[in-house]
Structure 1
């Protein structure tokens, strides 16, 4: 019989900020119980999609019905961070200050009290009024015809969550794999495979840093390996630096003359006096390209690593991925790395373009590698199920206990 079931389980708290989690971890699992299951495969959703995505469901059903695998996907902590996955617009104090300052700069008055505009339903009429006033100024040539106004707005994540970024998300994914393996199938000899594109791929790669003994294979399409360049703005505090340049995303969806620059709700801040300061240590633990950390990781049984990356990726430099792969190979990790460097590799079916993700269909990506992964012998994962990393002034220790990953963060004396 084909099994398609949704589960809600306990997972990690925020050990970095000492915050108890309010929400359960939701995941969906599919498999055919008439088959001899050989592996558990997790397809990790990236930004803007969750387990209700129809393409994801199609792919999960396909592989669960065609192959000897159980397929799961996880609504990890903070996944509901876009309007299409349930995030709600609101204005915080910084957003309101930017709104007010922009009105004064344009010399426009609106019949609304900005201090009382909190929800989307409350601030939309005020911004719509401003949008029309800007159009009048453009029609009168008081503003250029290509003018638009950047305004800041925030997104409240689903389940009253916030953007922790990377760590809680990836622990959620690992905890789900452990739960399915030990509680549902009760078989420690099942392989675990993680597959993702972009942020989903990043979580897959980060899982090898957090618990290398849990994962058997990673299929990575275009993950980032540092928080340099474009990646750090997704944490949510970009507006503390420049709300327009470092927004999580920006959209003209609601107004023709106003671009809403979105920031996810996060507790992280650039304020060094805050207990929520995103320090160098917080950054280092979230980066997979760190030679000192990779030297530690390599002492454990590591997963097979299969990666694709384009030379023309507009978000993640190929050079960073090449350096990461080079270190892995030096350390003896089993790596298959495909670089896409010219149009001759674009076949229109598997590789469709040269930009971020290369348009590779997740179904074809999995089909290309799954049988090979299943045929390879299961590695001996016997080791101490605990790993520690020194990150500037902090020590991060990840430990598997009672089929869950626990994080302990200690300050160096």
Structure 2
């Protein structure tokens, strides 16, 4: 009989910023209680998704294979409007709003300093939107003009964007919880741990393997990023540099003449004097393409990697992904890399286009690779369950203890 169970557990706090976590970690487990389980498949959602999107895939996998399927609402997963995030104005947003009004010479009958929630600032922006349209109609402003204004996204559960570390730790903690509290019959000799994700979900799968290589047997990755070179804006402090360019989401959905440029709520900052400064060390630990770190990771029992990437990916360059794959191979990692470089590879069913993600359905990605993965022998992953990475002036140590991943950060 198919079972769908939901769990809420205490997971990691924010060790880097010394912030006590308020929220519980939620995850779901799907399995057939009549089967002996060979593997736990963790389907990791990307940005803009959550576990509701993949539950039908979990049901399919549990019905058709001897696997239990894990879906994790990791920290800050609800950071887009479609997953429950609320738009609001912070101090920087209000300053930008006020400065923009003075720049275009339009006055509005609202006290910007008191505007916070969407319900509070919408009437003010709506008034401004109509004033801009009047000026357009009178040919006082170019008909193609629009105004960029800054806003923030408040994730669900009063969370914030830590980016990467807490998210990967949540996934690993959910996996460890399930291992300790088996709700299903496990096949003798141990079970595999398979992490599957696309885009940010694929990045987290790779990051999990970096933080706890002894816990991950296979990573199936579609179009993940491997550095923060071009993606640091999704952390949330892009507005401190240029909110019109380094936003997380930009939309005309609410106003005709105003584009809202939204950034995730975060405590990280570009201010070097702040305790929350996003330093080089913070960046390095979050990158899976780090040759020094991969040299350390290679000394542990490591997973098999299956990766897809398009030459025409608009967000992550194929060259960067190739460098990551080449580095893995040089260290003896088992890697299967599928490059999509030609329209001839588009079959309309599995590969549908050449852009980011290539339109590959998660269900078909799993269906293509899971049978072979289940046939492969389970590797011996006996090792010290602790790994340390030097990151500029900090040393990050991840250790499995008390059925969770514990992080400590020390200054060199």
TM-score tier by shorter-chain length is: over 0.9
| Cα separation, 2, equivalents of 1:146 and 1:39 | 56
Question: Following TM superposition, by how much is the alpha carbon of 1:185 offset from its aligned partner in structure 2, in angstroms?
Answer: 4.4
Shift of 1:260: 0.4
- What is aligned with 2:126? 128
Superposed displacement of residue 184, structure 1:
2.2
- 1:263 aligns with 263
Match of 2:154 in 1: 156
**RMSD across aligned positions (CA):** 1.0
1:324 partner SS: helix
1:392-403 equivalences under 5 Å are 392-403=392-403
Q: For 1:336-382, what per-residue CA distance to the aligned partner results, in whole angstroms no more than 9, with x for missing partners?
A: 00000111111111110000000000011000100111110101010
Q: Distance in 2 between matches of 1:320 and 1:246?
A: 21
- Of 108-117 and 181-190, the range deviating more from structure 2: 181-190
Distance 1:303 1:137 in 2: 61
What's the counterpart of residue 387 of structure 1? 387
The equivalent residue for 1:27 is 27
Question: Residue 153 of structure 1 contacts residue 263 of structure 1 at CA under 8 Å; is this kept in 2?
Answer: yes
Of the candidates 66, 69, 75, which is equivalent to residue 68 of structure 1?
A: 66
> Structure 2: where are the runs of 5+ without partners?
none
Q: Which residue of 1 aligns with 2:135?
A: 137
Q: Which residue of 2 aligns with 1:236?
A: 236
Counterpart Cα distance in 2 of 1:373 and 1:181: 19
Equivalent position to 1:98, from 83, 96, 99: 96
User: What residue is the counterpart of 1:82 in the other structure?
Assistant: 80
Q: TM-score, normalised by structure 1?
A: 0.98
Q: Distance in 2 between matches of 1:387 and 1:348?
A: 43
TM-superposition CA deviations, 1:44-65 (whole Å, max 9, x none): 0011111122xx1111111111
CA contact (8 A) 1:40 1:181 kept: no
Give the Cα separation in 2 of the matches to 1:221 and 1:15: 30
Deviation, 1:182, is 1.7
Taking structure 2 as the reference length, the TM-score comes to 0.98
Q: Distance in 2 between matches of 1:219 and 1:103?
A: 49
Structure 1, unaligned runs of 5 or more: none
1:49-68 equivalences under 5 Å are 49-53=49-53, 56-68=54-66
| 1:239-296 alpha-carbon deviations (Å, 9 max, x no partner) | 0000110001101111111110001110000000100000000000000101110000
Provide the C-alpha distance between the structure 2 equivalents of 1:405 and 1:287, rounded to a whole number of angstroms. Answer: 19
